[in-house]
Amino acid sequence: MVRLFASFLLLCLAACSGGDSDIADVAIIGEGDIRAEGLRLSVPQQYLRAATADGLVRYETQGDIVPALAERWIVTDGGMSYIFRLRDVDLTGGEALSAEDVRDEMNAAIAALDGTSLGHDLDVIDEIRAMTGRVIEIRLKHPMPAFLQLLAQPELALRQNGKLPGPMEAQADGDEAILQPVPPELRGFPAIEDWAETVRPVSARLLGAEAAIAAFQEGEFDLVLDGQITSLPLADLGPLSTGTIRLEPVTGLFGLRVLNDEGLLKGPLEREALAMAINRSTLMEGFNLDGWQSSTRLVPGDNPVGPDGAPLAERWAGLTMEQRISEARSRIAAWRDGDGNGEANLRILLPDGPGAESIFSSLARDMAAIGVALVPVDAREDADLVLIDRVARYPDRRWFLNQFNCTTRSGICSPEADTLVEEALETRDNAAREAVMRDAEETLLAENIYIPLGAPVRWSLVRGGFTAFVANATGRHDLFAMSQRPM
């Protein structure tokens, strides 16, 4: 019945207009195919996977962790052991979901993610054990306060080859999906009287930023998700802006990744000169952003990272901006007089959009002040630097460090830092482990393979009366929650 209804909706979608209370219309800024196949998922594909499959736990609309396939859990052995009791869920065909099923599929997902940054995050898992028919234990190599957030990643949602019902069922085609809520009794929950009257389908569609904003203005969508700084200037809706644009308090990486160690980028001192010269206090002047947090560090300053639990100081805190520029200019001049042969040009890849143009202008001005010319390019293979704009999957220093692991092959890297991160995995003492992780961060900073700028920016457009959206620190939003009919 669910499949028939979803198929019917897909056929008649063209007749559905935005703002219709019988369907929630959601645009996700992005491109490509929304269908979530495999485990290498884009952000829009993560939305679809999270909506159509459950892991042991999941994120809810406010960014909190709630039970999913696991109805409850306990944490024992000083945070080293997580024991989950599964809901009584039947697979398609009547066979009950077992702890062995969960163990086997989770182990397969972890193996398939090997060599990715998420795979390195999952290295904290020591063993997954099926204890009884409905009880599973996950043992860690060391305690990890943010482990449930890691466990809630869409890539760890279980599908059992399509036999395990998730929160929603999707009919997806290209850049569009129609999602129908699955009745609670089919997911191991008690049946709810008149449940079908309280929910509605969700239409999720991928669009470019400009098209999504224009369609929102025309009333075609209730919600636009995953706006970034590069497209923020497009979201100036005039009188509609008040209460419509929602900025999210996310954390993550927003900065320049060094792609090669050639020419001016050969040495860490010259790479540091580039980082020193950027005036982060003026970088976002053209965006009218209140409270944007700039940073010169890899891990955000509001994340307690010092040995005393206090935030570490920003880099070059003892120097004025003028002194930083003077030092950077001297280093570039010395390089030019030595190996540089007079050339101090760097090719930079930025996303499309007016926000990127503003950022490029600011960076180009700062680089020109130290004798470096920035040249925009259109392809990664032609670039020396690329803008990284990524929201952290979970609030832990490990996530930040694993983004630069050498096996991800995303730019120049530090084998020494990777070794320290691996050492920390085997260090059970919390204080000692934190010290090793601080050393890994300092090693990456000293290599200057990444030039931090500050926090990522995420924004959404929300139509008045659409209450299922809640801005939160994860930047994640539950499409299943969008299916609740307005009261």
Assign 13 a pLDDT band (cuts: 50, 70, 90).
very low
For residue 307, pLDDT beyond 70: no
pLDDT in tens, 435-474: 999 999 999 999 999 999 999 999 999 998 888 999 999 9
Answer whether 53's CB lies under 8 Å from 256's CB: no
* Mean pLDDT of all residues belonging to the chain: 90
β-sheet bridge partners, residue 206: 28
Average pLDDT over every residue of 317-329: 97
Average pLDDT over every residue of 135-146: 96
pLDDT in tens, 252-287: 999 999 999 999 999 999 999 999 999 999 999 888
Answer whether 316's CB lies under 8 Å from 447's CB: no
The residue ranking higher by pLDDT, 465 or 316, is 316
Average pLDDT over every residue of 57-65: 92
- Classify 455 in phi/psi space as left (phi over 0), alpha (psi -120 to 50) or beta: beta
The whole-model pTM stands at: 0.91
pLDDT in tens, 143-183: 999 999 999 999 999 988 888 989 999 999 999 999 999 99
For residue 27, the model assigns a pLDDT of 97
pLDDT in tens, 66-78: 999 999 999 999 9
Q: What percent of the chain has pLDDT over 70?
A: 91
pLDDT in tens, 375-434: 999 999 999 999 999 999 999 999 999 999 999 888 999 999 999 999 999 998 999 999
Average pLDDT over every residue of 349-356: 95
Q: Which of 381, 376, 371, 384 is nearest to 343 (CA)?
A: 371
C-alpha torsion angle, residues 432, 433, 439, 441 (rounded to 10): -150
Assign 10 a pLDDT band (cuts: 50, 70, 90).
very low
Least confident window among 187-191, 209-213, 460-464: 187-191
How far is the C-alpha of 199 from the C-alpha of 31, rounded, in Å?
Answer: 28
For residue 14, the model assigns a pLDDT of 38
Q: Which of 456, 455, 398, 392 is nearest to 63 (CA)?
A: 392
Got the DSSP string for 123-175? GGEEEEEEEETTEEEEEESS--TTHHHHHT-GGG-B-TTTTS--SEEEEEETT
